[in-house]
Structures are given as C-alpha cells and as structure tokens.
Amino acid sequence: MSAFSASASTSGNPLIASDRVEGTDVYGASGDSIGSLKRLMIEKVSGKVSYAVVSFGGFLGLGADEYTIPWGKLNYDTSLGGYRTDITETQLKGSPSFYRGSDYEWRDRERERELHDYWMVPYYWGGM
C-alpha cells in the first residue's frame, strides 16, 4: 500500500498540508510509537516526497536521534493516525548516516544510492 492511497482513505481528501504531517507519530510493527516525523524531503521537479527525517528516542525532543528514511518505508495507518514501519531498532542504528545536521549536502547521489540500497527500496529518481 502506498502512502498516497492510504492517506486518501482517511477523510476523503487525498492531500494533506506538510505542517500537519510534521510531528505525526511513527509506529513500529508492534503498534508502539517509536518516533515522529520531523520533516519531509520533497523532490523539486516531481513534487513527490522522497524521504522522511524521523526523530527517534529522547524526551520532549531532547536527546533524540534523527534518521533519514526513504518515504517508501512508511505507510499511513488510519487506525493509529500515524505512519507504520517495519524498521527495527537494530536496522535503524546500522543505517547510513545520511542526515545528521543542517549542513548535509543533499545532492550527493552516491549517498542516496547507499541509503536506498540499505533499506531495499527503489530509487525515487528511477532505476535500482
């Protein structure tokens, strides 16, 4: 199920404002809240969401770690009112350190390939 088709069934409206997505809980396979969406990375030309930067751990936003997750690893779950993923803590901690600060250069296609290959999701720009 894609994030788009799942979100379309939530209220009859297939669109949602980005500020309403930011802060939405992310749930693990067991249904427990494991983090929240911090920001979305949108491909400029297509307008499609490519990545979600997700904040995991911490308390009230302090001490949380941020990880970049390909958008295809998240599915909207209407029963939870948030995004569900099958990502484990072990996988997350072993993931490429793609985004850890505001100075990251997002134009590094090799780093993006590394991230997509790790999570085994198709490249948003085609191929794989």
Mean pLDDT calculated for residue range 48-74: 82
Q: Which two tokens stand for residue 23?
A: 């802060």
Does the pLDDT value for residue 68 go beyond 60? yes
Does the pLDDT value for residue 74 go beyond 70? yes
Q: Where are the alpha helices (DSSP H) in the chain?
A: 3-11, 18-21, 89-94, 109-119
Q: Which two tokens stand for residue 10?
A: 């939530």
Which of the pair, 123 or 58, is modelled with greater confidence?
123
Q: In what order do the strands lie in the sheet with 25-27?
A: 65-70, 49-56, 33-42, 25-27, 82-84, 75-77
Rounded to two decimals, what is the model's pTM? 0.73
Q: Which two tokens stand for residue 81?
A: 């009112």
Domains of the chain, start order: 3-119 (2.30.30.240)
The band of 76, judged by pLDDT with boundaries at 50, 70 and 90, is very high
